[in-house]
Amino acid sequence: MVTNIKATEDKNVSIKREAEEKRELCFKDEKCIGCGICEQICPLEAIELGPVGAIVRGEVDASKISIDENKCVLCGMCSVVCPVEALDLIIDGKQIKEIEEYPKLIRSITPEYDYCVYCGACDTVCPQDAIKVMRQLPERAKLVTGEIEVDKDKCISCGMCEDMCPAEAIYLVKNIPTSSNFEIASDIVVDKDKCVYCGICKRICPEDAIKVVCKVCPYGEYEIEEAEVKGDLILNEDLCVNCGWCQETCPKDVFVVEKPFEGELIIDQEACQGCKTCIEVCPCNVLSFPKPSEPGEIADKLYKDEKYCIYCGACQNVCPVSAIEVKRSGMNITPIKSKAWQKAVESLKETLHKPKTKAESGGK
């Protein structure tokens, strides 16, 4: 009999069987969001979800799932439905998603790079740090034109221009006065790379020592080069969980996101005790504690913004008081030929399994 060989590296696991064909199931813990869909679909109960709440909160150092190599038959169901590709079955060197016969969960993020103006909103909201926006702004000095002159004979070194300048373009070279040199400043300097010729220094100067002319104001922008912002939008699809934050936030409609599941997220506000485990576990930043909008208002204990939910069910699994229910009503998956597979995938739409309490699992 051919047995499965398990290899563990850090928190990643691989289970291998080499018979007529080579099969290898690879689990990558850093990709895993702890949703437990693999545990739910496994026909042999070979996968067990770990204490995800405690792991995410840094109180337990362990892999988010454990796989029993003696039960696993390397069927690949878990890797097909894993919404973040933390599990991958490789058959004869080929990933299961590349093999035509197997169904594939449809999820995607498609950026239209040409629309991007590098505002950086997606970078700020992405809960998985999957998007980076790097931009190079043009030099400020090239977008303005004008002239500035300080009459140093009139200047009394009061420093008001320095205090008022919004561009930090004018400053005094300070001098500590002595009996031989009582000047409080030895010079006044204008940094022409920083000056935008706004004229505030001229208006504040008590001695009329500064002359400023902005050429843009009377003549327009004809002699100034166009303000061109260059940049890079870098998307790391490996980290993306298809939550849709970028799609909702982007003012330029750069992103189109397809989600793997449809469903409903139900919160029992009465049952919730505000422990925050779900908020920390949710890979999509769907949940938060709301603040009352006015004093005395009783806000919900737990707030959800369901448009970002991928119905993975991680929150339900970690909730210690069963205050969250995730109902999956639809799966975005390519057609399945096998009856057994159809049934298994369909079972993910049923009420999510409740994590076994210690009493139910016989004290284990």
Binding site for other proteins (CB under 8 A): 48, 50-51, 53-54, 57, 59-60, 62-63, 66, 271, 273-277, 318-321, 355, 357-359, 363-364
Report, in this order, helix, strand and coil percent for the chain, each rounded to 5.
20, 25, 55
* Residue 360 Cβ vs other proteins, minimum distance, rounded to whole Å: 9
* Residue 341 Cβ vs other proteins, minimum distance, rounded to whole Å: 29
Q: d(Cα 289, Cα 268) in Å, to the nearest integer?
A: 14
* Residue 351 Cβ vs other proteins, minimum distance, rounded to whole Å: 17
Residue nearer to other proteins on the CB measure, 31 or 57:
57
Residue nearer to other proteins on the CB measure, 173 or 321:
321
Lookup result for tokens 């922008």: 221
Token pair belonging to 169: 């373009």
* Residue 228 Cβ vs other proteins, minimum distance, rounded to whole Å: 49
Token pair belonging to 150: 């300080």
User: Running DSSP on this structure, what letter comes out for residue 201?
Assistant: H
Residue nearer to other proteins on the CB measure, 276 or 327:
276
Residue nearer to other proteins on the CB measure, 263 or 355:
355
Torsion angles phi and psi, residue 140, rounded to 5: -60, -40
DSSP 221-290: STTS-----EEEEEE-TTT-----HHHHH-TT--EEEE-SEEEEEEE-TTT-----HHHHH-TT--EEPP
* Residue 256 Cβ vs other proteins, minimum distance, rounded to whole Å: 36
* Residue 50 Cβ vs other proteins, minimum distance, rounded to whole Å: 5
Residue nearer to other proteins on the CB measure, 272 or 312:
272
Q: d(Cα 260, Cα 108) in Å, to the nearest integer?
A: 8
Residue nearer to other proteins on the CB measure, 59 or 297:
59
Distance between alpha carbon 326 and the CA centroid of its chain, in Å? 22
